[in-house]
Structure 1
């Protein structure tokens, strides 16, 4: 089971080719040839496999951030590759139905997330995310997992690069009790959540296992406030997602989220529970 925000490519194959991806690939190829390197010689210098390099140059593979950085240095590209990468038209490893929401959350002034299935992608550690991707069915190839990890890491930069955005997360306690991938991964996850919860712009609340009233039983939800103070919502299933503009529906979801905030543990109590879990791990 994996978070469908990064379900990867449509149909599980290569990502759809876009003109910007093809253009970027041609630029990489031109600088590689200028440096008089074959693909076989270039691949180990950027620490990626030959098939990955070939896919990027053919415009069939979205370049990970570290590939762009390494290629820029190896090829002495004068900032050209980094500049071209900023204009690529699709996000790496993001499911088609999630991309519009991903673009909106990158500019949101407030972002609220309730999750009952798994730790939200923005909060995941690398080990936790890797476990999710390795367990996904149908199985993913190494390059697909690599692309999804790159997408996850890129999204997570929002938490540190947008300090004026207010983030609120409500997460079910049972997700932390499950010990996905073992005690070590869970301990790393709890430590990571504690560090995030201590940031001024991040509020993390735990919904206890035992609760006689729960406003979120209809499932996960996300809410965001745009820069012009317009609220939108997003709900997703296993293979689909829905961006919600309808003000009545958004208002209803805001009402449910507000109620859950009062039903979940307070911020200090949630942090205290995490510290208790860390001590017991």
Structure 2
């Protein structure tokens, strides 16, 4: 059984390590500026360009600002639409190297899990207190890091937020991994950040929950039995490797590799899914919660 000390997959990082991200950050900003200049030269708005390359306008905006790492598929589509003469596609390999460098934004204790997550073919997570990290909006993640005690320096908050947003690229990678989440209903009613941040976060849950290949379920608070009362956990299967478990509490986290422990976690997760609302019922509940805001 391997053990990793620190915070966890959905949020809290301890101890904090100071890391130099300037090289990666500047590189991504430079790529974003190139795309923006070429787009404007072509006379396209972000909305028009996003439609032509098959991505959302918000993603294009984030890429142009250097806040998101462009996928190879986006670079290829941009190359074609903007007639970039090879300027963008030539950066694809460098982008992959930059993504690898970006992983240093995670503290040392978290890198083992982050490495597994980046190559996972299956991720299943049960969350009791917070929105899972892969489903968080940027504003929600920033609010979580901003309320940490002891307080984090602003530059560390931005590093951690950027790292979390970069992790979410696994949701759009193809072939897509198998994802499922069971979230305790109480999380839907906990307006971390402020009301505006919380509403946007609920809308994000609906967006992901409606995506093909994503299964989102809510465990109702009214259930008289709940096999997940021992706390949150994640089941993760890296490509070509056995499934692992991941658990965390306060300042400790543990990567579970013992087959028997992983089997028990699997059985527990299966029961949680059976007792939770169905995916359709869960989305309806989230919509109802939004309507009450």
CA distance in 2, matches of 1:114, 1:150: 23
- Match of 1:152? 164
8 Å Cα contact 1:231/1:250 also seen in 2? yes
Q: TM-score, normalised by structure 2?
A: 0.72
Which secondary structure state, in structure 2, belongs to the residue aligned with residue 109 of structure 1? strand
| Unmatched runs of 5 consecutive residues or more in structure 2 | 1-6, 35-86
Among 177, 188, 199, the residue aligned to 1:165: 177
Which secondary structure state, in structure 1, belongs to the residue aligned with residue 120 of structure 2? coil
Label 1:127 to 1:173 Cα distance change in 2 as closer, same or farther (>3 A).
Answer: same
Following superposition, the deviation at residue 253 of structure 1 comes to 0.3
The question of 1:187 aligning with 2:191 is answered: no
Among 251, 272, 276, the residue aligned to 1:264: 276
8 Å Cα contact 1:92/1:147 also seen in 2? no
8 Å Cα contact 2:245/2:256 also seen in 1? yes
- Match of 1:103? 115
CA distance in 1, matches of 2:121, 2:157: 30
Q: TM-score, normalised by structure 1?
A: 0.75
- Match of 2:98? 85
- Match of 1:14? 18
Structure with more relative contact order (C-alpha pairs < 8 Å, separation 6 or more):
2
Following superposition, the deviation at residue 263 of structure 1 comes to 0.9
RMSD after superposition? 2.7
8 Å Cα contact 1:109/1:165 also seen in 2? yes
8 Å Cα contact 1:92/1:148 also seen in 2? no
8 Å Cα contact 2:123/2:237 also seen in 1? yes
Label 1:83 to 1:243 Cα distance change in 2 as closer, same or farther (>3 A).
Answer: closer
Aligned length: 233
Aligned pairs for 1:1-281 (under 5 A) are 4-5=8-9, 7-8=12-13, 11-15=15-19, 61-63=20-22, 66-71=25-30, 79=91, 82=95, 85-88=98-101, 91-228=103-240, 230-281=242-293
| Unmatched runs of 5 consecutive residues or more in structure 1 | 16-60
Label 1:65 to 1:192 Cα distance change in 2 as closer, same or farther (>3 A).
Answer: farther
